[in-house]
Amino acid sequence: MIYREAGDFKTSYRADGQTFPIRLDRWGYYAVLAVAFGIIPFVINDYWANAVLVPFLIYAIAALGLNILTGYAGQVSLGTGGFMAVGAYAVYKLMTSFPDVSILIHILLAGGITAGVGVLFGLPSLRIKGFYLAVATLAAQFFLVWLFNKVPWFYNYSASGQITAPTREVLGFAVTGPATSAPAKYLVCLVLAFLLAWVARNLTRGSIGRKWMAIRDMDIAAEIIGVDPLRAKLSAFAVSSFFIGIAGALLFAVYLGAAEVGEAFGINKSFLVLFMIIIGGLGSIFGSFAGAAFMVLLPVLLKNVLVGNLGWPTDLAAHIELMIVGALIVTFLIVEPHGLARLWRLTKEKLRLWPFPH
């Protein structure tokens, strides 16, 4: 009854083209932002920050990045873990080499460095397509992990090769290092996630996003109508890697605080982020967030329910949890291959017509 565009008049093209054309959507969006910025920072505790919200926001950034590459530009990548490692090690080197420069600048720079590496590994995409490309990006994954493990310069010659984030402050509040408070961690990630989502949204509906989608839908046809595949594909790799690099930098510096490359940025990370965008919905900003929420929360939820509430032995619970996660993924793909974003869209379509079904 309330949720519809009737009576919601647009008087300019600008208003017509906005992200949330329906008033209720807009209100909902503002309400979510208000809660995220205005309420959660005051009530958040360590558990919620470290186990749920911070990883959710960081993975949402990574998922946004991969979604740009895979969902919008159609290039399947399994190198996400490796690119996140680039972001993490870049920020570590920057933090320790230039301790006086703000950490926020370091994080952005780390994204920039990752973008450069991403373009380099994106070059083969001009020749290689489909699954061949997906497997080829694994070369980036394995090579980068090996490199960071092997060259002592990257981990400042520490005995074991672990990197640990020193304490850095923003406006007098520690945002990295052990003394970081839960709200500080959360807010840093939230601000970045919000800004990057905004950038992603506006990039993807602008001319560059349209070029990506043209390449995704059919690259030869796109070339014929004047889209330069070289620039389109490489720009997708660059932007995507920028996002993923920032996610990696945050994952290491803000969330984990210490990392070992093979363990924290292994092949499983690549699959995890790919899962997020598939479950969430390819080619959707909302989907990136929904998928990240799903994949971060599901294991925590299952573990708490099975072990905490039902009191099962942990090993049985852990094995059955794997089965449930696997079964849920398959079920999801069967029921709605286009992800949570499509479900959301369908719900909205239904709502618009409600209570009249036709």
Residues 221-240 that bind other proteins (CB under 8 A): 221, 224
Q: Which stretch binds other proteins (CB under 8 A): 104-112, 124-132, 206-214, 237-245?
A: 124-132
* HEC sequence for 195-212: HHHHHHHHHHCCHHHHHH
Query: 4-43: which residues touch other proteins (CB under 8 A)?
Result: none
Residue with tokens 């949402």: 60
Alpha carbons within 13 angstroms on the beta-carbon side of residue 15 total 8
Q: Which is nearer to other proteins, 203 or 307 (CB)?
A: 307
Distance of CA 276 to the CA centre of its chain: 8
Contact status: 3 vs other proteins (CB under 8 A): no
Contact between 351 and other proteins by CB under 8 A: the answer reads: no
Among 250, 256, 273, 295, binds other proteins (CB under 8 A): 256
Using CB under 8 A as the binding rule, whether residue 66 contacts other proteins is answered as no
Name residues whose C-beta falls within 8 Å of residue 45's C-beta, 6 or more positions apart in sequence.
Answer: 182
Q: Is 275 in the site for other proteins (CB under 8 A)?
A: yes
Our finding on whether 136 is near other proteins (CB under 8 A) is yes
Cβ neighbours for 240, distance < 8 A, ≥ 6 positions apart? 65, 66, 68, 69, 73, 77, 118
Alpha-carbon distance 280 to 270, whole Å? 15
Restricting to residues 295-314, which ones interact with other proteins according to CB under 8 A? 297, 299-301, 303-305, 307-309, 312-314
Question: Of 11, 13, 14, 160, which one interacts with other proteins (CB under 8 A)?
Answer: 160
22 burial via Cβ count (<10 Å: 0-12, 13-18, 19+): middle
Question: What is the contact mask toward other proteins in residues 76 to 115, using x (rule: CB under 8 A)?
Answer: x-------------------x-------------------
The whole-angstrom separation of Cα 197 and Cα 239 is 12
The residue from 135, 195, 230, 346 that contacts other proteins (CB under 8 A) is 135
